[in-house]
């Protein structure tokens, strides 16, 4: 099992999760985070830290696409280990439907 970041992180990008990760397996895009599924040790400490409920175990239904999404971008985005402020407007976008189509950017974040 591994944990993955799902669509609800997009355009919010809370980073509470990165500070508790014992193996630094979070990677930062311009407007979302991902978890490298091959580096995640399945400890689960990140899941309850996410205010957007965007971190899910890959054992839930329909998570295969998110495992591949997380793997793809973890290979090209920089690692993030320090908490940052959420994105501007995150309060309005938390829980919004269709965030992948509306907001997702393949651009890397700053990392750090």
Residue 105 is assigned to a structural domain of this protein: no
Q: What angle do CA 94, 21, 29 make, to 5 degrees?
A: 50
Cβ contact 14:43 at 8 Å? no
109 part of a folded domain: no
In a domain, 79, yes or no: yes
DSSP conformation class of 30: S
Residue 43 lies in a domain: yes
What SS3 class is residue 40? coil
Structural domain total, the chain = 1
Q: What pLDDT digit, counting tens, does each position of 7-34 carry?
A: 999 999 999 999 999 999 999 999 999 9
Q: Specify the CATH number for the domain of residue 46.
A: 3.30.70.20
Q: Is residue 103 part of a domain?
A: no
Residue 17 lies in a domain: yes
Tens-place pLDDT, residues 26-79: 999 999 999 999 999 999 999 999 999 999 999 999 999 999 999 999 999 999
Question: Which tokens in the block code for residue 34?
Answer: 């991902």
Given a contact cutoff of 8 angstroms between Cβ atoms, the answer to whether 49 and 69 are in contact is: no
Residue at 38 is within a domain:
yes
- CB of 15 within 8 A of CB of 70? no
Euclidean distance between CA atoms 87 and 92, whole angstroms: 11
Domain residue limits at 62: 3-86
Distance between CA atoms of residues 32 and 105, nearest Å: 8
């Amino acid at each position: 099992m591994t944990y993955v970041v799902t669509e609800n992180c997009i355009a919010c990008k809370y980073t509470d999760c990165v500070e508790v990760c014992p193996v630094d397996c979070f990677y930062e895009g311009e407007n979302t985070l991902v978890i490298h599924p091959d580096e995640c040790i399945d400890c689960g400490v990140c899941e309850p830290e996410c205010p957007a409920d965007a971190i899910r175990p890959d054992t839930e239904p329909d998570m295969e696409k998110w495992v591949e999404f997380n793997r793809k971008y973890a290979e090209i985005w920089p690692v993030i280990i320090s908490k940052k402020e959420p994105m501007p407007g995150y309060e309005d976008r938390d829980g919004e439907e269709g965030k992948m189509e509306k907001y997702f950017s393949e651009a890397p974040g700053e990392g750090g």
